[in-house]
Every structure is written in C-alpha cells, then in structure tokens.
Structure 1
Amino acid sequence: MEEIVVLIVGAGPSGLATSACLSVHSIPHIILEKEDIYASLWKKRAYDRLKLHLAKEFCSLPFKPHSPDSPTYIPKDMFVDYLDDYVKTFNIQPKYQRHVESASYDEADGKWRIEAKNVLTGGVEVYVAEFLVVASGENSGKYIPELPGLDSFSGETLHSSEYKSGAKYENKEVLVVGCGNSGMEIAYDLSNYGVQTAIVIRNPVHVVTKEIVRVGMIFSKYLPIFIVDIMAVLMSKILYGDLSKYGIRRPTKGPFYLKATAGRAPVIDVGTVAKIKSKEIKDFKHVLNETGMPKNDFPHHWKGEKNLYCCGLSRRGLFGVSMDASAIADDIKKVVTEKLN
C-alpha cells in the first residue's frame, strides 16, 4: 500500500496540467495511467490532419504558453511536441498501465482508498490519498452504437479514434456516422482522397469557422453570451447562407450558450460544408444520444465532496483543462495549508 497526498487518474492533458500545478505548490502526488504512455489519445488515436480547433491562446496548459512563432491553430504533431516539453519541464512521471478498478472514501480516516490493476504484473496495487482527482478526459472512451445489421456488415467498421487518413479508402464508399467536429473533418479528409463519402447529420448543429469561434471567445470575456451568440450566428448566416436545404439545421439556442449549458460544441468547418453543397459529400439524417458529464454546473464542476475533483470535463477543451487544473491545485493547497496551521 502506498500513501500519497494527491492521486490523479489519467495522464492526458488534464492530468499533466494538474500535476504541473501541484508541483508548483510543492504538493506530493502521483498519476495513474492505464495506457503505456501519456497523452495516449493524442499520440496514438488522433487522425493525421488534425489541428487544434481553438486558437493557441486558448489551448496552452498552465505555466507554459505556446511559442509566439507557432501557428495560430497548432497541428497535432506540434501539440504532441508541446506536451513532451511540458512533461520534461515539470518532470512528470506517471505510473503507466495502471487500470483503476475502484475508489472508496473512508469516512473515519477522511481518505480515499484506490485499487488499481497493474496490467504488466496482473497484481492489484492499493493507494491511499487525501485528495482524488479524476482527469480521465471527455473523450477517453469510444462509443459505437448497436445498429441492426452492423454485426453482419461485410465491410470495415471503425471508430473515429482509430481513423488516421483517407488514403487507404481511395475509390471506396464510406459512411461517416456523426456530424461533430471529428465526423465533419474525417468526411472532408476522405473526400479529398477521392472516397465516395456520405455523412450522417445529427440533430440541429451550428456550423462556424475557427475565426468565428476565436472572435466569440474573445468577446465573451466582455459581453453577455446571448450577444456573442447573436454575432456568431449572424456571421455564420452571412458566410454559409441557409444550410437547411443541405440537411443542416441550426438550433434555436446560440452556439456559445449550448456549449456552456449542454456541452454541445458547434461544428467548426474545415471545408466540409462546401463539399456537402457541391454534393461531393452526401448527407443522411440520424439522431444520436447525449452522454452524461459532471453533476455540478460550470464554474463549480471541478469540485465534488470529500476531496474529490475532476479535471478536463467542463466541455471547454484545453482552455477548460488549464482553468480546472489551476483551480484544483489552488484548492488542495488551501486545504493542506489550513491543516498545517
């Protein structure tokens, strides 16, 4: 059994950011990561053409802004290099291939008991911590719905996290299920490789550009969300016109309101809309289920009861990760300091 002040579950950007913030406060902690490497989603399961959808000023982790020379929208490989440098800078050393199986709070001791399976040895390791931070990420798990006939489908079926490039699908027919940011960009990439591409359109979605989002995030610091939404929707209408004739309907609520209250991100267009308009990409209609997220609303989502925290689940991407990690570390420091005094 190992005792520690803080235990962090997950070594993605959320876990790394929390670790860095705790290190700055000189608070002992460990990270348990189920994969064999940190930031596994970025290093193993991100498609080749991926770039950060938000401008770099909204995607830096605590205490390490992106280089002024880096592009506004950072490519995947450059962001991975940034994470590598972040880990070296703060000497972050996760314990890999530890799959957390249970976590229980001991009311008598006021501590968390965490059991994790060591994938390499098959043994179960026990940790006791005063504080528990869940930093497993919003997109750590993949979901493939059960569809009639899918089990007998003779073609290839894969989740977006397994997609790398459209090169291997050249001259084939591919249906992309889901019109979120990954689905739209994958459909665009497939079409660029000459793939006969169709996409399943979700319920009403906002379609915007990266620059519309960037402007909106800047103005949201100074203006009410409903005004920012009016501006964003107006810019989208001017740029794209009426998309309903192409199977894309706008929600009645604004894009920034939906992101803040329901976690529904707007679709950031990388060129897919033009291909849908030209019928290079065909659309189908479908409805997908929503998934659950933190119980508490933003900005109080990161703190639970009994020294339990969550990082990176605010539905605000890397910008939210940075905010969560700083808030968690500051709160833990406050509690630890009060105990010492």
Structure 2
Amino acid sequence: MRQKLNEPAINSSNSRIFQQPMIPGSKLVWVPGPVIIGAGPSGLAAAACLKTKEIPFLILEKGSCLASLWQFGTYDRLQLHLPKKFCELPFFPFPPHFPAYPTKQQFIAYLEAYAKHFAIKPVFRQEARAVQYDPDMGFWQVQACGYEFICRWVIVATGENADPFLPEIEGLGDFRGRTLHTSSYRDGGEFKGKKVLVVGCGNSGMEVSLDLFDNGADVSLFVRDKLHILPREILGISTFALSMLLLKWFPVKLVDKFLIFVSRLILGDTSRSGIKRPDIGPLELKNSTGKTPVLDFGAFARIKSGQIKIVRGIRRFTTNGVEFVDGRVKEFDAAILATGYRSNVTSWLKEENFFNEKDGYPRTPFPNSWKGNNGLYCIGFTKRGLLGTSIDAQKVAEDIARQWNSETRHLKVES
C-alpha cells in the first residue's frame, strides 16, 4: 500500500510528465492513491475509510509518532469533553470498559489501537513543506524532507490545532515570571504556592485553572469576552447528547433557551461571578462563529466561591505582574496562555481558493468544507470536533472511490 521511500519507483510510462522537483536533489516518488498530510485523528480516519474502499494511500507526519499534539502538546488532566460515542473514529468503537469521558492517555491508546487495527503505517518525520498543483501535468506535488511525492489527490488532515496561538499582549516580553502556552503545560504540581494568571477561558483555560487550584496554586482567570458556560451533564445525560436530540424536534433558538434556563438552575447566574453570557444562544453562536461553549466539570464552582478569581481588562504586563485598565496592579509568578491554536495550512499549501489566508480554514463552511478543486480535500476543519472529522473522512473516501478507475489501478508500486 505504501511506496518505500528508499526505493522511489516512478512508472516508466508516466515518467515523461515529471520534469524537475520543486527542490533540486529531491527524490521523486509516485503515489497511486492520495497523500494524506497529518497522522492525527483526522489523518487516521481518512486512512481507515480509504482502506475500506481498498484505495492505497501514503500518510506523511512531521512528528515522530501518531497524534503528536495529543502526545506532547496536551496537559495530563485532559479528558474528552464530549461522551466517547461522539468521539469515535469510523468503523472502530472505543473499548466498552473505557469511561464515558476517556482520559488523554486512554484516547491516545485508542488511536494507537485504531492504527494497528487498520494496519495504518505513516511515514514519520516527513513534514509537508510545500504542496502545489501542476495544471500542465494534472498532478499534485508534495515536497517533504528529501522527497517529492506526485499524486492525483491530496488530503489535508493537519487539523485546526496545528500551531499554538500566541497573542500580542503589551509588556508580555518584559514579564520576568514564567510564561507558557497550554501546549507546554502538563500539570499544576510545579506551581504549588505560586500566583498564576491563566489567560483565556475556553474549555482548556477552565480545566487548567481547576488543575492549578487543585495543586495549591493561587489562580486568577482572565476573561475578555462574554461566554456561555453549560453543565457537562443535565440529570445524568450529556448536555451535548441532549442538545442533539432536541434539535431533531425543535429549532435552535428554542433549544438554546432551554439550555440557558437549565444552566441557570444548575450553575446559577454566571454574570454574578463576572462571566456574562453572549446575547446569542450557545448553539446558534457555535453554528455562526464556531465558538464552543464551555462544558463545566467543576471549575465554575471554584469561580463562584471566589477560589478561582476572575479578572478583566488587562492593560499590559509589567516585570512582576499585570496592570489593569482600572489602574490596579497585581503581581504574578507565572502566566499560562490558554489562547488556543490556529491552522498553518496556508503557510505550505500553494493554493489560493480553498483555504482562507486569514484563518487557515476552508472558505466554504460546513457541511461542504471538505472538498476543493483538482483532487484537494481536507478533514478536521469543521469546528465540530471528532464527530465532524468522522463525517468528513467518510465523504472524502467515498468521493475518491468514485474517481478510482482502471487507469489508477494499473499503476502498481511496491507495498
């Protein structure tokens, strides 16, 4: 199914169409099926769906292992925020003994078992440095580390969370305390007794804040915008699952009103703790902007009690802490940036129509964001988590399978 990289073999009948590689000295390798870029959940889902269609493929992964972001860029306390049945990849359920919300370690084990089950073997340490379509020869050129892969289809599976997003905050470079992004945070034990400011109040910011507090840190959480906080479960039922069920029968606005009403009953009025809700409901906001509501797992109770302090209006960082817009100054020992990630696709994909240069997302919104032109596809850019990944992976495999014809099948490479 995969071309051996140390023995590149280009079919002699087609060798005339290959001129010079993008990078002089690169070895040309013909791939009869798609080249999948990224061996995280999106890439693995794409590979498994192609396997079921008996379509060969090649996965390129810049890291040294499967799901490198999950392995090396996430904190130890991390759990899936949605129940496992909504996070399964195609054709392979979670083990029944896994809890409803698998841990980071359990999810990594699941991905490794997934790759083993489908005999998916990515080529590691092969970063896609430039990908472009050659209209004259009608093929894609994927330039990696010492190799250039020629193929008819490219599947971008690097996902929404490729690179940590580091915002520009005045004075942050002058701050003498420790500064790190959540991608470098592991657990709160090393911050015991420290005054820590968490910048960002999404699911990661909330979870890191709780982990810090549980490990004895003095935690402040910076909240810049309005946000929705919902209980993770309502009467023992996943809030997400309940929402999906209600949406089958009722309009979004009505379901939103129900969620906010129940959230007030369970959590109380979040505005009294310094967290105001947006004017638009949580589901409508998610659909229109992609902004995910926070699913609370205990952090808000600490906020409500004042044990995790909410702060607003940062003017700038100082050498020892933060100056706020109201003139107050507070000292901190560390600042943890829970500011999310961003796509990096437009830095290496030489194509102007499919992905928006501003945010690195497909220009066409979900549910039609998975397909571009000339055999270009993407998986994992729906802003709908692993469920969206699974949906797109099956659509992409089905579309490529329809194009898989006798001309492609007779191009054989060494497995």
Bin the TM-score by the shorter chain: over 0.9
Q: Distance in 2 between matches of 1:78 and 1:24?
A: 25
- More displaced 10-residue stretch of structure 1: 237-246 or 13-22: 237-246
Task: Note the aligned Cα RMSD (angstroms).
Answer: 1.9
- Is the aligned partner of 1:152 residue 2:174? yes
Give 5+ residue unaligned stretches, structure 1: 118-123
AA in 1 matched with 2:363 = K
Q: Distance in 2 between matches of 1:24 and 1:71?
A: 28
AA in 2 matched with 1:302 = W
The 1:301–1:162 alpha-carbon spacing in structure 2 relative to 1, beyond 3 Å, is same
- Is the aligned partner of 1:265 residue 2:287? no
Whether the 8 Å contact between 1:203 and 1:286 is mirrored in structure 2 is no
AA in 1 matched with 2:370 = W
AA in 1 matched with 2:227 = V
The percentage of aligned residue pairs carrying the same residue is 41
Q: CA deviation at 1:107?
A: 1.2
* Correspondence for 1:60: 88
* SS class of match (2:285): helix
Q: CA deviation at 1:8?
A: 0.7
* Correspondence for 2:140: 112
Whether the 8 Å contact between 1:16 and 1:87 is mirrored in structure 2 is yes
Whether the 8 Å contact between 2:163 and 2:341 is mirrored in structure 1 is no
* SS class of match (1:146): coil
Q: CA deviation at 1:108?
A: 2.2
Which is higher, the Rg of structure 1 or of structure 2?
2
* Correspondence for 2:267: 240
* SS class of match (2:147): strand
* SS class of match (2:79): coil
AA in 2 matched with 1:53 = H
- More displaced 10-residue stretch of structure 1: 302-311 or 227-236: 227-236
| Alignment deviations for residues 74-101 of structure 1 (CA, whole Å, 9 cap, x no partner) | 1111111111110100111111111211
- More displaced 10-residue stretch of structure 1: 171-180 or 246-255: 246-255
Whether the 8 Å contact between 2:226 and 2:278 is mirrored in structure 1 is yes
Q: Distance in 2 between matches of 1:322 and 1:217?
A: 16
* SS class of match (2:127): strand
1:313 to 381, 405, 410: 381
* Correspondence for 1:120: none
Q: Distance in 1 between matches of 2:306 and 2:223?
A: 14
- Equivalent pairs, count: 335
- Is the aligned partner of 1:96 residue 2:120? no
Give 5+ residue unaligned stretches, structure 2: 1-27, 234-238, 315-338, 343-358, 410-415
The 1:190–1:290 alpha-carbon spacing in structure 2 relative to 1, beyond 3 Å, is closer
TM-score in terms of structure 1 length = 0.93
Q: CA deviation at 1:221?
A: 4.0
1:1-341 to 2 correspondence within 5 Å?
1-4=28-31, 5-117=33-145, 124-211=146-233, 212-285=239-312, 292=359, 293-337=361-405
Q: CA deviation at 1:72?
A: 1.0
| Alignment deviations for residues 217-271 of structure 1 (CA, whole Å, 9 cap, x no partner) | 2333444322322221221122222211222111111212222221100011121
Q: Distance in 1 between matches of 2:166 and 2:141?
A: 32
Q: Distance in 2 between matches of 1:274 and 1:326?
A: 40
Which structure has more helix as a fraction of its residues? Answer: 1
Q: Distance in 1 between matches of 2:341 and 2:163?
A: 14
- More displaced 10-residue stretch of structure 1: 296-305 or 102-111: 102-111
TM-score in terms of structure 2 length = 0.77
* SS class of match (2:163): coil
Whether the 8 Å contact between 2:130 and 2:142 is mirrored in structure 1 is yes
